[in-house]
Chains A and B, each alone.
Chain A
Amino acid sequence: MQKFEKFMGIVCPLGRSNVDTDAIIPKQFLKSIQRSGFGPNLFDEWRYLDRGEPGMDSSGRPLNTGFVLNDPRYTGASILLARENFGCGSSREHAPWALLDYGFRVIIAPSFADIFFNNCFKNGILPVRLEEKTVEGLFAQANGPEALRIEVDLASQQLKPEGGEGIGFEVDPFRKHCLLEGLDDIGLTLQHVGDIRAYEQRRRAEAPWLFFHS
């Protein structure tokens, strides 16, 4: 995983609540056996006027110009501003893969669905929960004539909107450490092989039926 470094990015405001992972990346694209290449199909049904299929070249497809991702103000956006319960529904990790592939590194919302929230960290995306009121304020700015730019500093847990006051945010210390260092969870877990073996030995005595065929 890439290390999460301080950056300044354009904010794209997606003013809908309960955005589900089916909307983030529709099911037909889940047939891929790859981790990459989902960006052109991010929000496919909202973003294009035709029906997208895997393998289709999206560059010539008719755009839904009313959808925020197609607004020229937000070209190159790397921060997605969303409303409550973002990422609900299916556990598909293709959703963070698509967001990342498109270029989003940070998602700001008042609340996230649990599985999606967790999946973001596994892919170097920082989900930031902020108070509803603060999110409203950012929406007002991001919807203005000029795109809002925010500097994201994970180390100091600060969002700094250009020309505005810094906004602090909470992040789980373990998750923060993993993002900053670009650490692989599996490698970390496998440092505890001894503990896993000891647990299994104890458990095999207590609950032998859980150690079927072995």
Chain B
Amino acid sequence: MQPKTLYDKLWESHVVREEADGTALLYIDRQLVHEVTSPQAFEGLRLAGRKPWRAETNLATPDHNIPTRNRDRGIEDPVARTQVETLGANCADFGITEFRMDDPRQGIVHVVGPEQGATLPGMTVVCGDSHTSTHGALGALAHGIGTSEVEHVLASQCLIQRKSKAMLIQVEGKTGPGVTAKDIVLAIIGEIGTAGGTGYAIEFAGEAIRDLSVEGRMTVCNMAIEAGARAGFVAVDEKTIDYVKGRPYAPKAEDWDKAVAWWRTLHSDAGATFDRIVTLKAAEIEPQVTWGTSPEMVVSVSDRVPDPAQEKDPVKADGMRRALAYMGLTANTPISEIPVDIVFIGSCTNSRIEDLRAAAQVAKGRKVAANVKQALVVPGSGLVKQQAEAEGLDKVFVEAGFEWRDPGCSMCLAMNDDRLEPGERCASTSNRNFEGRQGPGGRTHLVSPAMAAAAAIAGRFVDVRELGLRP
């Protein structure tokens, strides 16, 4: 038999029909739903007199728009409140399970799905959110879709798709101390560029990826989209199976055994061919800090801000100059001399329990620097929050001067009132450093949770491996 990639296996097991031109109808096992990209889809169903094909395959929770403090007051912004209430009404009308704001299981969709076992190895998973690639960490085919496709999946359980090309990114060898999943994925994006993965589905492999926990793999897959790839995934191994076991939506009894037997086949076969292979050496990766307005504008913490004068491509040099002007930075400044105003630890990239532990380890017994105006910790779900509190992490953060909040997307995209003011500079564990992403005029530097905590303590970017801040 022809050796297959993991992508081939995930794809082939979900093709309902295929046209001669290669367009396929792909079956979707799970759709996650949130308040921002769903109202127009539900409205479309209603206008066409359609019902969800299998309502039970959808799982909803509000996350983008909701406040992360004073929840007992409800949502003060009337427009946001309408949107969250609309999600509630739509889920009630169409028989879709929703974890509402007062439910301890509420959180960021991409944290909630795996946490509940609602996203599983071998599944096709979609959501009206580009960071759906996160679920690929479990060996699932998961990608973001627009609202028209949200409606399409609700109505038919299928999507019209064309198979992407297959890319293998191998991170060989072991990472050094203080180098995390976030640093690995930022280094990958720095290597292939924000459009490097366009048209591809990416399999992340190699010793450094296998060495990551499942949560770490989620951080890597989460940012596949920042490299342009809609889907990123990692082969199933024993860590994946252990992670899934016992979760509320995970299969039980004989179903479990049957599922595990199939999941164990979810890896690329020896000799499978890829359209592109990229190899990185883990030992060469240092803690990363973005300096510009695209995730590919990234360097090691020991580097300096790049100089557009050294860039030969005039369009690229122009983009660099524009980014430096927006970021208020001067070329050749050492990264470790850049002070920060705000620190944000959270988002679907880095708000799981291991992320909070890594940040707390750095923060423990230390104080947020005087020049840092605000340092936020926003857990990814109510259950992550409970777990962190059971471990006393909330106290570590609060004693160090961080604010401990309720779960949601928060300052990653600043749809609620957690946002940067113009000119404020933020060390953020989120995924996008686009202009205005964290608030109009706000300046975002993407880093790992340990690096964000270290920046909060030092008041500037600092290598966690120095100053005894090793996580």
Interface residues of A (CB under 8 A from B): 16-18, 20, 22-23, 26-28, 30-35, 45, 51, 54-55, 83-85, 88-93, 96, 111-115, 118-119, 122-123, 172-174, 185-186, 188-190, 192, 195-196, 199-200, 203, 206-210, 212-214
B286 close to chain A: CB less than 8 A? no
CB of B86 closer than 8 Å to a CB of A = yes
Least CB distance, A1 to chain B, in whole angstroms? 9
Are A27 and B128 in contact, CB atoms less than 8 angstroms apart?
no
A23 to B132, CA, bound (A): 21
Q: Which residues of B contact A113 (CB under 8 A)?
A: 195, 198, 228
B351 lies within 8 A of chain A by Cβ: no
Q: Is the CB of A212 within 8 A of B148?
A: no
| Residues of the B chain whose Cβ atoms lie less than 8 Å from the Cβ of A90 | 129-130, 413, 432
Partner of B230, one of A20, A112, A115, A174: A115
CA distance in complex: A93, B39 (Å): 12
**Contact call B146/A93, Cβ cutoff below 8 A:** yes
A89 to B129 Cα, complex, angstroms: 10
- By a CB distance below 8 angstroms, the chain A residues around B25 are 189, 192, 195-196
Size of the B side of the interface (Cβ < 8 Å), in residues, is 77
23 contacts between A and B (CB under 8 A): A18-B294, A20-B294, A22-B435, A31-B36, A31-B82, A32-B79, A33-B86, A84-B195, A91-B144, A93-B37, A111-B195, A114-B164, A115-B230, A119-B148, A185-B152, A186-B151, A186-B156, A189-B25, A190-B155, A192-B16, A200-B157, A207-B258, A210-B123
8 residue pairs, one from A and one from B, having the closest CB atoms: A209-B251, A93-B146, A122-B148, A33-B39, A119-B146, A91-B144, A85-B195, A91-B130
Determine whether B102 belongs to the interface, using a CB cutoff of 8 Å to chain A.
no
Q: Please tell me if the beta carbons of A22 and B151 are within 8 angstroms of each other in the complex.
A: no
| A85 contact set on B, CB distance < 8 A | 194-195, 198, 228
A212 engages B249 (CB within 8 Å): yes
What distance in Å separates the Cβ of A52 from its nearest Cβ neighbour in chain B? 9
- Listed stretches B48-56, B233-241, B336-344; interface member: B48-56
Is B145 engaged at the interface, CB distance under 8 Å to the other chain?
yes
**Would you call B79 and A31 a contact (CB within 8 A)?**
yes
**CB of B270 within 8 A of chain A?**
no
Known: A18-B294, A31-B80, A88-B195. A196 touches B157 (CB 8 A): yes
Q: Which residues of B contact A188 (CB under 8 A)?
A: 160
A199 to B158, CA, bound (A): 11
Q: CB-CB < 8 A to A23: which residues of B?
A: 434-436
- Inter-chain contact B194/A31, CB cutoff 8 Å: no
Within 8 A of A (CB), among B1-51: 16-17, 19, 21, 23, 25, 27, 29, 36-37, 39-40, 43, 48, 50
Chain B residues within 8 Å of A199, by CB: 16, 27
B414 touches A27 (CB 8 A): yes
Chain B hits for A190, CB < 8 A: 155-156
Q: Do the beta carbons of B43 and A89 come within 8 Å of each other?
A: no
Smallest CB gap from B80: residue in A? A31
Bound-complex Cα distance A117 to B259 (A):
35
Point out the residues of chain A lying under 8 angstroms from B249, CB to CB: 212
**A45-B148 in contact (CB<8A):** no
Task: Tell me if A186 and B27 are in contact (CB < 8 A).
Answer: no
Are A22 and B319 in contact, with the CB atoms below 8 A?
Answer: no
Interface residue from B16, B146, B155 paired with A92 (Cβ < 8 Å): B146
Do B146 and A195 touch across chains, with their CB atoms under 8 A apart? no
18 other A-B residue contacts (CB within 8 Å) besides A30-B36, A45-B436, A115-B144: A17-B315, A17-B316, A22-B435, A27-B414, A28-B415, A30-B64, A33-B40, A33-B86, A45-B440, A54-B79, A88-B194, A113-B228, A119-B146, A172-B21, A174-B19, A192-B25, A196-B157, A213-B56
Min CB–CB distance B404 → chain A (angstroms):
24
Contact yes or no, A214 B148, CB < 8 A: no
Chain B positions within 8 Å of A20 at CB level: 294, 432, 434
- Chain A residue numbers with a CB within 8 Å of B65 are 31
User: Of residues A55, A88, A111, which shows the largest number of chain B Cβ atoms within 10 Å of its Cβ?
Assistant: A88
Say yes or no: is B147 at the interface (Cβ < 8 Å to chain A).
yes
- Cβ–Cβ < 8 Å partners of A51 in chain B: 440
Within 8 A of A (CB), among B226-271: 228-230, 249, 251, 255-256, 258-259, 262
